[in-house]
């Protein structure tokens, strides 16, 4: 591998931002002649940084690679990578919730109502703040400290993994409950917890893809 000159790095940046772009336009942006750029464009094309297309211009070659990665990731749905949820009834004590949290090695616990529909979530941070206070952990139910519906961020088995990952990053949480919409006996729409998707699930998918046959890319 060779070191790029300052002008070659400028050319790559221009093509990355404006491609496809002709050699004439690149020369105009750099205030040089087309002839002066010809050796640099040849080197960048031969070395694989750029792709030259007749009557189209130059494009940044890694664009195709990024599109291939996006295409592969978009094939995967949350249902393909979800794991079993960690669930407790809303009547459980905070102490029972803490025991479940550490027994299951979970970052978040999903709380369900008497009909087993999602009622809220409790995070490790919620338990920690409560434990440091004056709350009676054996008597107070987890429903007192949980984040309640409809303020819980969820996803469905049919959602793309990429979209679930975006929610996790945007909301700075460690997992999402995977839910299916149901209608209860009173005709109200409820959410049944059918799984969870965590940062670990997503990292494992990327690891599996990294070791997959490169033919897909």
Burial class (CB in 10 A: 0-12, 13-18, 19+), 214: exposed
Strands (DSSP E) found in the chain: 50-53, 57-60, 87-89, 108-112, 118-123, 147-148, 175-183, 189-198
What are the boundaries of each domain within the chain?
A: 6-60, 78-208
For residues 123 and 111, is the Cβ–Cβ distance under 8 A? no
Q: Would you write out the chain's pLDDT as a tens digit for each of its 217 residues?
A: 457 789 999 999 999 899 899 999 999 999 999 899 988 888 888 777 888 888 889 988 764 445 555 666 778 999 999 999 999 999 999 999 999 999 999 999 999 999 999 999 999 999 999 989 888 999 999 999 999 999 999 999 999 998 999 899 899 999 999 999 999 888 889 999 999 999 999 888 877 876 654 333 3
Strand partners, 147: 121
CATH code reported for the domain at 6-60:
1.10.10.10
CATH of 78-208 among 3.10.580.10, 1.10.220.150, 2.40.30.330, 3.40.190.10: 3.10.580.10
d(CA 217, CA 215): 5
Q: CA of 35: how far to CAs of 40, 162, 215, in Å?
A: 10, 44, 39
- In this prediction the pTM is 0.67
């Amino acid at each position: 591998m060779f070191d790029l000159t300052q002008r070659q790095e400028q050319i790559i940046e221009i093509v990355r931002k404006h491609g496809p772009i002709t050699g004439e336009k690149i020369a105009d942006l750099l205030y040089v002649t087309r002839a002066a750029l010809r050796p640099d464009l040849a080197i960048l094309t031969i070395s694989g940084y750029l792709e030259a297309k007749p009557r189209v211009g130059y494009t940044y070659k890694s664009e195709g690679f990024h599109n291939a990665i996006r295409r592969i990731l978009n094939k995967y749905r949350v249902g393909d990578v979800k794991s079993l949820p960690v669930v407790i009834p809303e009547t459980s004590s905070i102490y029972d919730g803490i025991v479940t949290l550490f027994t299951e090695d979970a970052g978040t616990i999903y709380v369900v109502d008497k009909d087993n529909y999602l009622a809220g979530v409790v995070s490790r941070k919620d338990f920690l703040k409560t434990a440091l206070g004056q709350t009676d952990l054996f008597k107070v139910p987890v429903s007192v400290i949980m984040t309640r519906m409809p303020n819980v961020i969820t996803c469905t088995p049919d959602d793309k993994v990429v979209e679930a990952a975006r929610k996790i990053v945007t909301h700075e949480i460690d997992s999402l409950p995977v839910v299916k919409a149901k209608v209860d006996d009173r005709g109200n729409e409820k959410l049944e917890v059918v799984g969870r998707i965590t940062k670990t699930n997503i990292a494992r998918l990327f690891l599996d893809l990294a070791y997959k046959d490169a033919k897909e890319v």
